[in-house]
Structure 1
Amino acid sequence: MQMKMEQILPAPKVAVAVFLSKDKKVLLGRRLNCTGQSYFSVPSGHLEFGESFEQCAIRELKEETGLDIEKVEILKVTNNIFLEEPSHYVVILVRSVLADPNQIPQNLEPEKCDGWGWYEWDSLPEPLIGPFKSALAEGFNPFSN
């Protein structure tokens, strides 16, 4: 990657993406007014200072969906560089389950997501956000680990 020396590049950001599973389905929403607009993604967000990856996953899922989770497990780390923006994201992919299987996701950030739905792993909606799609191309499957 060759760029002019005077160009200042943004520092990499760290995000946590939560693969919440229920009956071989995963929770996805279509993003609005943010990075990856109109692409489907799992609940995710930036790591805050002093947080563990697990704490970030629990907080982000609660903020976006109102759901409580448990058994947060790190599955994969992806390194994503987007030259057109430019931006650089390190994304921690985690798997979790509902603390209460009867809870129903709510859309608590309607300005950022048009709603949440459960999707069969074998028939995911399109288009998928870049880091998720890249992980899939590498054979990532949150149900097989």
Structure 2
Amino acid sequence: MKKEDKPKVGVGVIILDKEGKVLIGKRKGSHAPYYSIPGGSLDFSETFEGCARREVKEEANLSIKDPQVIAVTNNLETSRKEGVHYISVILLAKGFSGDLKIMETDKCEQWLWADPNNLPRPHFDASARAIKSYLAGKFYIKLE
């Protein structure tokens, strides 16, 4: 990695159903076999909320209602494994509409609703950290 490389900004979205379960995707392709919440990279001049809405629509065909910023994660695991350092802004969406569907078949194998206290494994570090922050009611959890 070059010294002038800068972290990128990602957005992760915790979507809850009526039973309090979290929407989780099973990744395929370069990030297989990890599970993760939906999300992606923030585009230039895009709001966090706009990015969350766009990514969830592009990935899962859902329209989320009133996403709220709830946490920030510093994803050093991806910098160690892939040479890409992401800072992720995590949003919570408690309402949604639409028919859940795999929209990016090259990136996602399956969508499922999971108990946030019993996530499927292996779980992508940034996603697990986001859900841990949500469950603890903390905006940021220091890396250990």
TM-score range, shorter-chain basis? 0.7 to 0.9
Q: What is aligned with 2:14?
A: 19
CA contact (8 A) 2:61 2:100 kept: yes
Residue pairs, 1:126-137, within 5 angstroms: 126-135=121-130
User: Alpha-carbon deviation of 1:124?
Assistant: 1.3
| Segments of 4+ moved more than 6 angstroms | none
Q: What is aligned with 1:120?
A: 115
Q: What is aligned with 2:55?
A: 60
Q: What is aligned with 2:35?
A: 40
Task: Give per-residue Cα distances to partners, 1:79-114, cap 9 Å, x unaligned.
Answer: 1222242110001111003333xx331000010000
Q: What is aligned with 1:4?
A: none
User: Larger strand proportion, structure 1 or 2?
Assistant: 1
Task: Give per-residue Cα distances to partners, 1:8-66, cap 9 Å, x unaligned.
Answer: 143211110000001210000111123x3211000010000110000000000000011
For residues 134 and 58 of structure 1, the distance between their equivalents in structure 2, rounded to whole angstroms, comes to 21
Rg larger for: 1
CA contact (8 A) 1:29 1:114 kept: yes
User: Larger helix proportion, structure 1 or 2?
Assistant: 2
User: Alpha-carbon deviation of 1:134?
Assistant: 3.4
Q: What is aligned with 2:134?
A: 141
Q: What is aligned with 1:3?
A: none
User: Alpha-carbon deviation of 1:142?
Assistant: 5.1
Identity %: 33
